[in-house]
Structures are given as C-alpha cells and as structure tokens.
A and B are shown apart, each in its own frame.
Chain A
Amino acid sequence: MSVEKMKIMGVIGKNNLLNRVLRLVTLNGSMHMINALVRVNSTDFFLPPSEENIEALEEEPFLRSYSSKRDFTKDEEVIKLLLNIFNIKPQLRMEFLGQDYDYDDFMKQFSNIYAKIRSTADEIEEKARLIDKKREYINNLKYLSRLSIDISRFIDMKYLVFRLIKISRENYDKLKKNYENIPAVVLKVAVEGKHVIVASITPVNLEETLEKIFSSLNYTILAIPREFSGTAAEITEELTKSIDEDQKVIESFKKSLEDYRIKYIKEFKKGYSRLEMEKKIEELKSEIAMGDKLFFMFGFVPVSNVTKLKSELENQFGDKVIILVDDINKSGLGITPPTKLNNIKLFRPFETLVKMYGTPAYHEKDPTAFFGLTYMLLFGAMFGDVGQGLILLFSGLILELGWKRTSLGGILSRIGLSSTLFGFIYGSVFGSEKILSPLIIRPMANINVMLVAAVVFGIALILSSYIYNIINSSLEKNIEEGLFGRNGAVGFVFYLILLYTIFRVFVTHSNILPVLIYIMVGLLLLMLFKQPLSNKLAHTDKLYRESPANYYVEEGFGIIETLLSMLSNTISFLRVGAFALNHVGLYIAFATLAGMMSTSWGNLAVLILGNIVIIALEGLIVFIQALRLEYYELFTKYYRGDGIEYIPVQIKGVSSVGRKISLNHKKVIPLGIGVYNFTTL
C-alpha cells in the first residue's frame, strides 16, 4: 500500500557480453534503465578498489555513450519473407529467448537457407505469372471460339494483319459512325461492361494508318498465342493442359518448400523472436556507457526483485560480470528514482486516476488508498442507488474480467459497489423509493441534513489532507511547507480555529473570543514569514530565495488566497449533498413523465429510458464532479505528483510456456496443406 522501495543495480562486463546481459535483463523485466554516464558521474558512485574491479576502474574515466546504431533491415527482410512463405504467425516465445545464444551466429545459418528458399519462391512466382498469361490467352481466345478455323492461319497471314482489341463503348461508337473511312474490316465480337471487343483485318500496307486510328481510340490489344496452331477450342485445351503441368511444377516446388518448413520451422520461429529481441535491446543501448573493453549499465530495480535478477546474472555469467547493488538513500540528487505503486487489489484501479494527475514522487506518500476510499465514498454519496449501482458494478466486472480493461472496469465496478451500498442507505432502487426503506436517511425528505452532512464530510476530508501534507513534508524534511505553509501545521491549526469560531457564532450564537482572533492573526503572520522563519530554523545562510519585495508581494496575495480557498474548498463539498438530491430529482422528473403515459408499457418504457439517461448522464457528471473534488479540493493541498513512473525494460507479448506447447501441436496438423502467401515477394 505504498511506493515500492528501489535499489540501483549496476552491471559491468566485457563488451562482447553486452547483448546477452541486456537480453537477460529484458526477459527478467524488472529493471528501470537509467543513463549509465549520468550514474557514473554522480557524486555518490563508488567502485570499491578491489582486484576484480581494476579493469573497470581503469576504464571509468573514458566512458562514452553507445553510438553505433545497428541496421536490421536485412535481417527483417529475411525473417519477414520466411514468415510469409511459411505462413507463420509472428509470435514471441519465451523458450527461444531464454536460451543463451549469440545472435549473429544464429542468424548466419539463415543466409544459405534463405537464398534457396528465395529462389524457389521466385520460381513459383514466375510459374504463377506464366499461368496468368496463359489464362489471359484462354480468355482472349474465347472471343474467337465461334470461328472453326485454325487460329494460326490468322496470325501468319502474309498480306493481311489480324488484331483483336478492346476499346470503350463510347469510342466504339465513334468508330462505327465513321466506318466508311476506316481502312479495315472491323467486327464487333463481344461487349463486356464498358468495353467492346473488336476484331479487325487490314492490308499490311495500311496497318500503320489503322494503328494510328486505333491509338486515337485508346485501344488495348488482346494477345493471342503465336506458338500454337488449331482452332480456338484446340488451343484452349492445349493451354489448359500446360497450365495443369505448370501447376504440378508449382506443387513440387511447394513440396520442397514444405521440406524446409518441416525441418526448420522451429528455427524460423526462433528467428522472429530473436530478431524482435535484438531490436528491443538495440533501443536500450542508448542508455549504456561503453569503454574500450567494458560496458556499464545501471537501472533501478524494486527491492523484491533484486535477488532474483542478481542470481540470474550470476548463474549465467558467473564472475565475468561485476554486479553492483546500491541503496537509494546514497544516490545523488541527479537521478530521480522511479515510482512503482503497490496497492491492495481494492484500490489498484484508482492508480490510473492518480497518475492522470501525476505520478507520486519516490519519497512521497502514495495517495492512492486515500484517493480510492474517498472517491468511492464521494461517488456513492452522490449517486446512491441499489439498481443503478449494481448495473455499474456488473458492467465494470464484465469490462475488468471479460475484456481485460482492468483500470476502467475496475474503477467502474468499485464505484458501482459503493453506489449500491449508498443505495441501501438512501433506500433507492432504480430511483424508486417505494421498494426499500432507507437504512439511514431519505435525501429528499431531509434536505438540510444532507447538505450539512456533505460539508461536514468535506471538512473531514480537508483535515485529513492537511495531515497527509504534514506527513509528506516531514518525509521531505520541508519545514517551510510542512510547518509554516498554508497547507502545513500552521494552516491546519488556523483552519481548525476558524471552523470553531464559525461554529460558535452561527450555531451556539455566542460572541467571538478575542483570543481566537489574535491567534488567527498570529498564524497568518507565521504563514507570511514562512520562508525566512524556516531558513532561520534550518540555519541556512540566505533568508530568501528571491528578492524580499517579490516574496512579500507574492505571499501577501497568497494569504488572501488562503482565506478564500479555505472557505470555497469547504463549501465546495455542498455539491455532494446537492447531487444526492439531484439524483432523486431527476428520477422524479422521469417518474412524472411516466405517469403521463396512458399505457403501462409506455410507463415502463419511459422509466427504463429515464434510468438509462440517469446512469449515462448523471453517472458521468458525478464521476467528473467527484474527480474534481479530489483533484482540486484535496490534491492541491497535499499531493505534488512530480515523480517518474516505473517502466521496466520488457519485451511485450511473450507467450507463456504452457500455451506455446499446445500451439505447437496445433501447428503440426496443417503442415501438409501449407498456405503460401506471395503478396510481399
């Protein structure tokens, strides 16, 4: 229920081990990398001057950042082609990555296989193109099928030229209307969609003229095979036969590819996983510092994972790498530790909402638990309804468990739960107050009580946020804000006395005690002088960080703002009561509309529609209003949220060991069929 403690881990090793170390770290997935040069140059970095560290100590002053970016386009091409030809689903597998291997050696084995597969694939493609061509011939010959003459006689004519062309209908029209001037016999053979197929015969010496005329008609020539003889039907038959033959050749090629598949499929899959891994670790290298022989890498690791990562490194590399583990407290100011939030399941979804405002700093108290609890209370109080709450609860659960939308679904189910509980308190089911009797209160019947309770609840929240801020400031050892600040101890006492005074005047109708006034003025003065006072206490040389004039102008207005915001923040919580009333009011409006319906079906329909509107519209408004109260009224008091999120280096989408075996079995079956995809060839 807090921010997880971190340690800084460093790994120093020979340059040739770098890729392997990075791979292991990535698979381990718990290191948040930091720039190694920054770490080495920070004041508290210290390599113990022992024998095994000698080399590292020698290199330390000459480190530089890793600059040469490796180019993977060639490898990517190879792997992409292999995956495509063998129709392998790109999938990262832990088993292929976990092994200790050398990437370059591993890729080398592909170069030979790749060349062979590539040429086979090219040949298949070539054959496929031939088949296409022949199919086109067959299609063109179809237009001549009415002629029972040897086609080759047309083509081999000595004094006449035969052509089969395609032109648009519109252009055919022009041709037809000007037929008397065309130096050829032109025959319409077929009409296909927007086009007309035309056969023409012209004397050889007029061929050129005709070509010009046809060109101006934007024709497309339909090719007829020259190397065959016989009627259209005979040639078609012959072509069909040769297509079959070609297909057989393709089949045999495919078979030979199949052999490769059976033999190497595991390697191909490995190849994909390992290439992806290599690309990932190449990205990480920008954070690495390189010496002539050694590399240095550093990162934050949560305390709970340190031993695991350390032992993994030791197991694989033994004494070939130096592993450094330092506590954070020692670390210099230069590097901010990342924050890893660790909350119980009930509050975990609310981390998203907290991060929307800002990630807590490493030394700050994680507000998620307080946020989650109060957010649920606020939402429930404003939107208390058993029926609608349950709908939110179940839709949240469906999102969370069914669609794996953990943060949205989680928040929805939790506020739904709270809404349901408050529904019992208010005695409201789908807006109707006739079904249940309230456990505690009916909002509409006790308007004043609701509003006052809301403000009291708000005061409680504000007071706890003061306490939160005091704790946070004392963790940071910030006297200025924690003790004298308007949200610190002084502000806290001032707020209490102010509340007491107001209580005396308006509730018990007694006079204002002069003492209280003096104390309050004194407290305000403390706030005004917070910077010089705290600097005095801390024995700092300078009393002011900036010019005193600026400081007092700013703080003077700050005091006024404090007074205003104390009032407005408190009154702001009225909305909690107001929305609880509003919720009932909205239902009453729909209930009245429903009563105006003549049929009972209409009545029901309006009520259902009304409930949908209430859940969608009011649910959203209340969601936002509660968030507003949290962010504006409370977070501004105690939460800074200027931390860095913990993002460990990981490779995404690695399938687990258990699943991959079952997938392997499934893959065995379709081997014989072999689906090929040549689109990217």
Chain B
Amino acid sequence: MDKLTRYSAVNTKIRVMEKEFLKREDYLNMLKKKSVADAARYLKENISYGKLLGEIHPDTVSRRDLEDILKRNMIKNMDKLIHYFRDDYKDLIRSLYIKYEVEDLKVLARSIFNGKEPETIEKPLSFLGKYSRVDPKRLFKSRTIRELIYSLEGSEFFEFLIPLVDGRRENLFRFEMALDMGYFNIIQSRKLKISGEDREMLKKWEGMIADLYNIQWIYRGKKFYHLSPEELLNYTINFGDKLTFADRKDMCYTKNLEELYRMTINSVYGFLFKKEEISRDIYMERRINRFMHYKLRALTRRLPMSIIQTIGYVWLLEFEIRDIISIIESIRYDLPPEEARKFLVKAA
C-alpha cells in the first residue's frame, strides 16, 4: 500500500482533531485564573473541551476528575486513530499505549506499596489494561506488589516482572525498573512490517527518546540514588540514536557530576545541563519534553505523509493534558503565572 492511500484519511482526521488543541491565548488565559473552578469553567465555556466537560460542575470539580476526563478523551481519540490503520500499523499505534499504561501501573504499585485503597489514588489510572488487555478490576484487587505482578499474568509485561517474584525482589523500585525495562524491550524487539521510511523514522525517534531518558537516568542515579556504575549501566535503555553503549558506559563510570556535564555539554543533548544547577533538577523533565515537542513539530512538517503525524498527535495531546494539569496544580498552590509558565511544555 503506498503512503498516500495509507495516510491521507488518517491525516485529515488528525488535522480536524488538532483544531481542538488549546491555543496559546487559552493557556495564558487559564494561567490568570484564580481558582480551580474558574479554570475548569474556562475550559468548559470557551473551547472544544466544553463538550467533554458537559456533565461536570465547574464549582465542585477536582483535579483528579478533570484529569480523568482528559485522559479518557485521549484514549477515545487514540482508539479512533487505531481504526484508520491495519495490520502491523495497528499494533504500532496501539503500542503507544504502553508508555501510559506503564505510568499508571507505577502509580498503582506505589499506592499499593503505601497501603492505599484504589479509590483514594490521587491520579486517575485511565490507561490500565489499554495495552496489556488485563481487566483493570483485577489489577485493583491486588494488595501487594506480588499480587499485582500475578494479576498481570498473560500480558506482555509479565515475563519482565516474574523474575522479581522468583528472586523475592518484588519491591517498588525493582518493579518500576522492570516495567520500564519491559516497555523499552517491547518496543525495541518487536518486528513490525512497516515501510522502510517509517522504520527509519521510528528508529531515530525512539532512539532519541532513549538517549534523553538514559542521560536523565544516569544523572539522577548519580546525584540522588548513589547507585553503583554497574547498576546504573544495567538499568539504561539498551538502544539509542546518538549514544552508543560505550558512550553510556563512559557516562556511568564518570567520577563525578562535573565530568558528566563536560561529557554531554557539547553534544546535541547539551541543553539538558545548561544554566545553573538548581534548575537542572527541577526542569530537566520539562526540557526533555520541550525538546521532543520541537522535534515533533519539525518532523511533522518535514514528513507529512508518514507515521510521525499520528505519533506526533498522540504526544502533543499528552503534552496538552500535562500542561492543563500543571496549570490547575499551580493555581491550587498559588504559583504566580510567570512561575507556572516555566513548567508548561507547549506554551511558555
């Protein structure tokens, strides 16, 4: 199938759905709101989110409910897009769910670890089961990490988690690490029948993400967790775009952080370490997201008839939800708009 027939319908759909994205003014207006209710009302009254928030009462809505609605909308839109594809492309788009499901699984594991009831979890876990096809009810029944692992039996995550049970290492840290490892292993080891151009693009895109996450991981592991270089290295994502295994190894075996900065400052990813140290810790994740945001915008312009259009839409939608939630949070904690803006991905 040539790419024109494959992408023209879905791209049209994406263009229409992109119209629903918030505009720059919308972000700025929302930042100025004084209460969560005001912000929710703004969303409800002014823009395309109105129809989603239909049955919600802005005065009583919580951040959690709002996030749940936004995430469900994201699922709905992603499911819509999946219908436009067939065969391996369907699997590819579906695999975009892994990232979000893994995130939700981690939140669930954390709350189980802290002995919380599923109903009291701060975040809505809307993506559970979207990739693994496990019934979320089964997951919510788990009372220990071990039970959670067993409730994932039958899903692709299980084989990465079961060694934890066998080795009696089913603690939170290992669980999270094993899930991440599983995530990157799944997306790397799958053999998709997709066009050569898409494959190249996907490899580059996923490699770039892996690079960014690896650097972030090594930095944090060194600075906060004081892990041994061997462990650090073993936990890195085993592929990348610019960084080779040797690069990663060198980064893990640097003596101190200074050496790490020096090593990366002149690479493509040097932006991560620019500016003063305090901002590195707080804004690193946002810088990564913003870097991806710009990268996506450039890529989607350059490759109009490729899979990056769909991937890009999903990521941008994710960033938008992140931003809305960030705005709501900063309103809740009375952050001045100028400060709050520094946490946003899409508009700043």
Contact = CB atoms under 8 A, between A and B. Distances in A.
Interface string B135-179: 000000000000000000000000010111011010000100110
The B contact surface, by secondary structure, is: helix
B228 A217 contact: no
Contacts of A655: none
B230 A181 contact: yes
A178 B229 CA distance: 10
A102 B98 CA distance: 59
B233 A220 contact: no
Contacts of A216: 177, 230-231, 234-235
Nearest to A213: B230
Interface in A158-175: 166, 168, 170-171, 173-175
A172 B181 CA distance: 14
A178 B249 contact: yes
A182 B167 contact: no
A342 interface: no
Nearest to B184: A170
Nearest to A175: B234
A305 interface: no
Interface in A196-221: 209, 212-213, 215-221
Contacts of B234: 171, 174-175, 178, 213, 216-217
B249 A177 contact: yes
B167 A170 contact: no
Contact of A218 (B178, B228, B249): B178
Nearest to A182: B230
B326 interface: no
- Most chain A beta-carbon contacts within 10 A, residue among B167, B235, B249, B253: B167
A174 B235 CA distance: 10
A218 B157 CA distance: 13
- Most chain A beta-carbon contacts within 10 A, residue among B164, B167, B177, B234: B234
Contact count band on B:
20 to 34
B163 A218 contact: yes
A173 B230 contact: no
A171 B184 CA distance: 13
B185 interface: yes
A218 B231 contact: no
A212 B231 contact: yes
- Most chain B beta-carbon contacts within 10 A, residue among A168, A174, A213, A215: A215
Contacts of A219: 163, 167
Nearest to A215: B169
B231 A221 contact: no
Contacts of B189: 170
B61 to A, nearest CB: 41
Contacts of B230: 178, 181-182, 212-213, 216
B238 interface: yes
Contacts of B228: 209, 212-213
Given A174-B233, A178-B230, A181-B229, A215 B167 contact: yes
B113 interface: no
B245 interface: yes
Interface in B185-213: 185, 189
Contacts of A177: 245, 249
A188 to B, nearest CB: 17
Nearest to A217: B234
A370 B169 CA distance: 77
A218 B164 CA distance: 7
Nearest to B185: A170
Nearest to B178: A218
A216 to B, nearest CB: 4
A166 B253 CA distance: 26
A213 B252 CA distance: 14
B98 to A, nearest CB: 17
Given A177-B249, A218-B181, A220-B163, A213 B238 contact: no
B216 to A, nearest CB: 17
B185 A220 contact: no
A648 to B, nearest CB: 40
A215 B174 CA distance: 8
25 contacts: A170-B189, A171-B234, A174-B233, A177-B245, A177-B249, A178-B234, A178-B249, A181-B230, A209-B228, A212-B230, A212-B231, A213-B228, A213-B230, A215-B169, A215-B174, A216-B177, A216-B230, A216-B234, A216-B235, A218-B160, A218-B163, A218-B164, A218-B177, A219-B163, A220-B162
Interface of A: 166, 168, 170-171, 173-175, 177-178, 181-182, 209, 212-213, 215-221
Given A174-B233, A218-B160, 4 more contacts: A166-B163, A170-B238, A213-B234, A220-B163
